Amino acid sequence: MEVLTLLGHGFGTVFQPINLFLVFLGSILGTLFGALPGLGPINGVAILLPICYTLGLPVESSLILLSGIYYGAEFGGRISSILLNVPGDAGAVFTTLDGYPLAQKGLAGPALALSGVASFIGGTIAIVGLTFFAPLLATFAIDFGPSEYFVLMVFAFATVSALMGSNPVKSLVGVAIGWMIGIVGVDSTTGVMRFSFGEAELYDGFEFLTVIVGFFAVSEILLMLEHHSSEHFAMPKITRIYVTFKEILYCKWTILRSSVIGFVVGVLPGTGASIASAVSYTLEQKLVDKEGTFGTGDMRGLAAPESANNACAGGALVPMLTLGVPGSATTAVLLGALMLYNINPGPMLFVDQPVLVWGLIASMYVGNIMLLVINFPLVRVFTKILQVPYWLLVPSVIVLAFVGVYSVNSSTFSLGMATLLGVLGYFLRKLHYPMAPVILGFVLCEIMEDNLRRAFAMSGGEADIFFKGSINITLWILTLAIFFVPMISKFISKKYALGKK
Amino acid sequence: MNKALRFVTGVLAVVALSSALHAFEPKKPVCLAPAKPGGGFDLTCRLVTNSMLAAKLMDKPMVVSFMPGGVGAVAYNHVIGQRANDPETIVAVSTGSALNIAQGKFGNHDENAVRWLAGLGADFGAVIVKADSKWNTLSEMIADLKANPKGFALGSGGSIGSQDWFKAALIAKAAGIDPKEMKYVAFEGGGEALTALLGGHIQIYPGDIAEFSGQFDSGKYKVLAVLSDERLPGKFKDLPTAKEQGFDVVWTIWRGFYLAPNVTDEQYNYWVDVLQKLVKTPEFAKERELRGLFPFTKIGKEYDTFIKGEVAKFRVMAKEAGLIK
Amino acid sequence: MIDRLFGVFLLLLGLFFIWGGASLEVPFSYDPLGPKFFPIAAGGLLSLLSLFVIAKPKKIDFPEFSTLVKTGLIILLLVIYQFTFNVLGFLIATAILVFFMSRIFKGTSKQALGSAIGVSVSVYLIFGILLDVPLPHGVILNFLLGVS
């Protein structure tokens, strides 16, 4: 049990007063960054990193603070999703689907509290996984080559096809539009510029944050105007601010399954919280949503993406710490933090920097508990947001969102893009095009294209590369199962019903 | 009224005089890193800001600000378009940016659009394979590549035309293979390429040695050659160069700075002087070592000539490879 | 009607991507698909789908004219914000944006003015000063501070 001894040393590092304070600070700041629309983990970490460095904090303290902001933001991202239908960050897009309907039913309090619990469980499962299985998982991640990533994306698409449900044409339009937005910018294989119109600011394509702010914050505000102008406008009432134990138990399997899915997706470099929450949400929809209540304010539909995106944040640290490869955009900045301190991340990190690594892991245990404890009293405060009058709330939301977009690359061009996407998003939503497929198209298609073409470059154009190896075969079987199991089960239950007659 | 006017003109005259007496000195010196915090350009900036602070060569501390996008293209356009007179800001630049300038990927601006200030450090290319690879020397690897050009995949962190790709192309050329015919896989950054190497998805990774140093002692990889003119110092001293193994492949990743296009000669010379002083200090040498960079110092006119030569050279290479017309 | 019009927009967007993808100049590529395939596929998919939308449009309730005017005004305000952000500086540009948005969302002049000052100053203090995000000062403030 060498791990436990090392973890014990890690707790020794965390319980130094300064570090304990930084865990606390990171949790609070992270929650705020996550909660404010347009400001997500990536801004939080990118903004605080130069400050930590300038203040001369030691590297383990910096990393404790920065990663606190990272998982704190995943934790806080749910708040504006639930209350305002504006996701605080990318991972929280799927939280809007059931979170906002719950708030409209007057259940904002229980929704916030339950998602806090789900986030805590997801986060904690991920840290336990990180503590005990990191080296093992690293070898698993290494086995994923381009062909495996491609088949994984096929699997992801098969899972989320459930989202296409009621209106397949308009859902697919959403995917196509997200796909197109993802295409803009330099082609990562040939270096050819695609649809960048000679604008230097478009060379790297659309920033994720700009897309989220445009499609969700700006378009939501344009829609709010309408509800606001109508005669029957009334803010949802808040009935209670706690979650019952029964409600938590009702979601227990959903939370556990989604946590594991989120963690595994997080471990794979290049995937992120949005994929983790999409897959877990739609999988739960397939597994437990017998009455078709997902999307109308189902507690399980809220718990699934929240436990998944917090677990994903923990999972993303596995390749970062064991291989020196970022598991997500935010961990890429965290890796940069190490470089700034002249630590070259790589497989030797666990050996060369035990204080740093185990201090960080221990801090995450402490941080998650802090987040949960801070969370409950804050539910009352956050639900108060619903009582802020629109003439103050709406301009504040838009200014914060735009400051977030601006801070990514100090450019007003991105502000214009957010407005443009906001107008497009307004029309899409007005004409009943669902928005979740747009985000999926944006995220999944890019990973799909890159890896499809990488795999072809490796195989010299042969397609058999996608059917070689046990990971590929397993993923294909799972994909087929996703398609056929519901059909078969429907068939069997029909037969059973007929037999009964 | 008259008195007031006289007073104002008097004050103005004094102000004008005093500013003429004092040569240019920046009030709020900034190093603009055209990348996210922690990225390569951030490290380039810190080399100057940290050592400048330690050596106490400036009254005001230099701050780092960020403007990511297109290997520096966004910052290049921004400085030329909106800060053309700004003498306070130096902008970080590297081989990768020069390559993109040569290929016309920096918008309408070419290498004559800014004032090149100084190059202050360098990294070198390296040919890296997995530890259990059958190759122990570059010659063995090249012989195998020659015999079976499609049998082995090269992979690194950049698209066709990036500096990572050019390294792969030079290696392929050394093996007598047309770069268009080699097997090349472009990943998102060097880290992903290294992981793919470890997983056996690719066989050869043409990377950078300083960037690789975190993995150097892990025992998971072998370095077959460094792409420098001479052997490197320190822990890399046992690594053979490609040259000494009979292949004339050299790849330098220099890191430097430029100033806005319309700064005056006085302002330009201020920066040249202060950097001349800086590179002679032990604080600078120490900071450069910490950043994992190797000595490479070209300041002022010398750097300007160097860059223009580099861009011209890259333009020829890009034309040869069929990347530009 | 509006659904069908948007369908036409989608069709044009799809065709634009097919055309744009096909006319990319690619020196060479290591995979058989190249950078052209995905834009053409995405454009093709969208064009095809848009035909369904055009063929069978649904009736959509659009808000009354006065609301649409306000929607247009907000978009205009956001565009103005983008272009005044650097020139007027964060504080003034934001105050203007917040004031008018607040008015559109039925705030009284006093409430709007309070929001304008409150939001711009507090966001500036938190992000510009405390968190060191380089928000632009703008020409006027720079002149007053004597920075060139």
* Domain CATH number, residue B313: 3.40.190.150
C119 vs A contacts (CB less than 8 Å): 392, 395-396, 399
What DSSP line would sit under A180-229, residue for residue? HHHH-EE-TTT--EES-TT-GGGTT---HHHHHIIIIIIHHHHHHHHHHH
B184 vs C contacts (CB less than 8 Å): 30
Residues 6+ apart with CB under 8 A from C9: none
For residue B292, the model assigns a pLDDT of 84
Find the length of chain B: 325
| Residue A232 pLDDT exceeds 70 | no
A34, A38, B75 from A404: Cα distances, Å: 11, 5, 19
Quote the number of domains for chain B.
Answer: 2
Q: Are residues B33 and B107 in the same domain?
A: yes
**Taking CB atoms and an 8 Å limit, are C27 and B82 in contact across chains?**
no
Minimum mean pLDDT among A31-35, A261-265, B235-239: which range? A31-35
CB contact residues (below 8 A), chain C span 9-48, against chain A: 10, 13-14, 17, 20-21, 24-35, 38-39, 42-43, 45-46
Residue A500 lies in a domain: no
Greatest mean pLDDT among A57-71, A281-295, A333-347, A378-392: A57-71
pLDDT tens digits, A417-453: 999 999 999 999 889 888 888 888 888 888 889 999 9
A327 closest CA partner among A341, A345, A340, A343 = A345
From CA A377, how far away is CA A196, in angstroms rounded? 47
Q: Where would I find the H helices in chain B?
A: 2-21, 40-55, 73-82, 95-102, 138-147, 163-174, 190-198, 209-216, 265-279, 282-290, 301-320
From CA A271, how far away is CA A62, in angstroms rounded? 25
Neighbours of C (≥3 Cβ pairs closer than 8 A)?
A: A, B
Q: Where would I find the H helices in B69-152?
A: 73-82, 95-102, 138-147
Q: Maximum CA pair distance of chain A?
A: 77
For residue A19, the model assigns a pLDDT of 92
The answer to whether A47 contacts chain C (CB < 8 Å) is yes
**Taking CB atoms and an 8 Å limit, are A416 and C21 in contact across chains?**
no
From CA C126, how far away is CA A187, in angstroms rounded? 38
For residue B4, the model assigns a pLDDT of 56
**How buried is residue C145: exposed, middle or buried, by Cβ count under 10 Å (0-12/13-18/19+)?**
exposed
Instruction: State the pairing for strand pair B89-94/B298-299.
Output: unpaired
Q: Which of B37, B106, B192 sits opposite A269 (nearest CB)?
A: B192
Q: Are residues B312 and B220 in the same domain?
A: no
Chain-wide mean pLDDT for chain B?
87
What DSSP line would sit under A424-492, residue for residue? HHHHHHHTT--SHHHHHHHHHHHHHHHHHHHHHHHHTS-GGGGG-SHHHHHHHHHHHHHHHHHHHHHHH
Give the gap in angstroms from C-alpha C144 to the nearest C-alpha of chain A: 23
For residue A120, the model assigns a pLDDT of 94
Q: Which residue of B has its CA nearest to C86?
A: B82
The answer to whether B280 contacts chain A (CB < 8 Å) is no
From CA C102, how far away is CA C137, in angstroms rounded? 23
Angle formed by the axes of helices A59-84 and A299-323, nearest 10°: 160
Q: Maximum CA pair distance of chain C?
A: 64
The answer to whether B28 contacts chain A (CB < 8 Å) is no
Residue A399 lies in a domain: yes
Q: Where would I find the H helices in A289-353?
A: 299-323, 329-340, 349-352
Q: Are residues B117 and B141 in the same domain?
A: no
Q: Which of B39, B199, B291 sits opposite A336 (nearest CB)?
A: B39
Q: Which amino acid is at A334?
A: L
The answer to whether B290 contacts chain A (CB < 8 Å) is yes
C26 vs A contacts (CB less than 8 Å): 190, 192
pLDDT tens digits, B20-44: 445 788 888 999 999 888 778 888 9
CATH number at residue B240: 3.40.190.10
Q: Which of C30, C85, C101 sits opposite A457 (nearest CB)?
A: C30
**Taking CB atoms and an 8 Å limit, are A180 and C25 in contact across chains?**
no
State ipTM: 0.93
pLDDT tens digits, B186-225: 988 888 888 889 889 999 999 998 888 878 888 889 999 9
| Residue A231 pLDDT exceeds 60 | no
Domain ranges of chain C: 2-55, 65-145
CB contact residues (below 8 A), chain B span 219-238, against chain A: 220
Q: Which helix (H) or strand (E) holds A414?
A: helix A413-430
Neighbours of A (≥3 Cβ pairs closer than 8 A)?
A: B, C
Tokens linked to A408: 């990514």
pLDDT tens digits, A307-354: 999 999 899 888 888 877 777 778 888 888 887 887 877 777 887 788
For residue A226, the model assigns a pLDDT of 80
**Taking CB atoms and an 8 Å limit, are C30 and B322 in contact across chains?**
no
C49 vs A contacts (CB less than 8 Å): 169, 172-173, 176
Instruction: State the pairing for strand pair B298-299/B115-130.
Output: antiparallel
Q: Which residue of A has its CA nearest to C94?
A: A399
**Taking CB atoms and an 8 Å limit, are B28 and C147 in contact across chains?**
yes
Quote the number of domains for chain A.
Answer: 1
Q: Are residues B145 and B161 in the same domain?
A: yes
B145, B192, B194, C144 from B151: Cα distances, Å: 7, 21, 19, 67
Q: Which residue of C has its CA nearest to B318?
A: C27
Domain span at residue B182 reads 124-252
Q: Which residue of B has its CA nearest to C146?
A: B27
B183 vs C contacts (CB less than 8 Å): 30
Q: Are residues B244 and B260 in the same domain?
A: no
pTM: 0.85
From CA A383, how far away is CA B203, in angstroms rounded? 56
Interface size between A and C, measured as CB pairs under 8 A: 179
Q: Which of C29, C71, C97 sits opposite A395 (nearest CB)?
A: C97
Structural domain ending residue among the three candidates B200, B220, B252? B252
From CA A359, how far away is CA A18, in angstroms rounded? 13
From CA B151, how far away is CA C77, in angstroms rounded? 59
Give the gap in angstroms from C-alpha C125 to the nearest C-alpha of chain A: 13
Q: Which of B65, B85, B323 sits opposite C27 (nearest CB)?
A: B323
Alpha-carbon dihedral A297, A299, A301, A306, rounded to 10 degrees:
120
Give the gap in angstroms from C-alpha B294 to the nearest C-alpha of chain C: 32
Among chain B, residues having any CB pair with chain C shorter than 8 Å are 27-28, 65, 82, 85, 160, 180, 183-186, 321-323
Structural domain ending residue among the three candidates B203, B221, B252? B252
**How buried is residue A470: exposed, middle or buried, by Cβ count under 10 Å (0-12/13-18/19+)?**
exposed
**Taking CB atoms and an 8 Å limit, are C28 and B65 in contact across chains?**
no
A345, A404, B95, B137 from B122: Cα distances, Å: 20, 34, 10, 25
Q: Which residues of A86-104 are buried (b: 16+ CB within 10 A; e: fewer)?
A: bbbbbbbbbbbbbbbbbbe
For the residues A205-221, what does the mean pLDDT come to? 86
Q: Which of B27, B28, B184 sits opposite C30 (nearest CB)?
A: B184
Domain span at residue A86 reads 2-495
Residue A501 lies in a domain: no
- Is residue A478 within 8 A of residue A148, CB to CB? The reply is no
Chain-wide mean pLDDT for chain A?
85
E strands, C44-94, where? none
Tokens linked to A497: 């019903």
Q: Which residues of chain C have pLDDT under 50?
A: 148
pLDDT tens digits, A130-139: 998 887 877 7
For residue B258, the model assigns a pLDDT of 95
| Residue B307 pLDDT exceeds 90 | yes
pLDDT tens digits, A353-383: 888 899 999 999 999 999 999 888 888 888 8
Q: Which of C14, C33, C60 sits opposite A430 (nearest CB)?
A: C60
Residue B2 lies in a domain: no
For residue A375, the model assigns a pLDDT of 83
For residue B17, the model assigns a pLDDT of 46
A231 vs C contacts (CB less than 8 Å): none
**Taking CB atoms and an 8 Å limit, are C111 and A392 in contact across chains?**
yes
For the residues A384-390, what does the mean pLDDT come to? 80
For residue B21, the model assigns a pLDDT of 46
For the residues A290-313, what does the mean pLDDT come to? 89
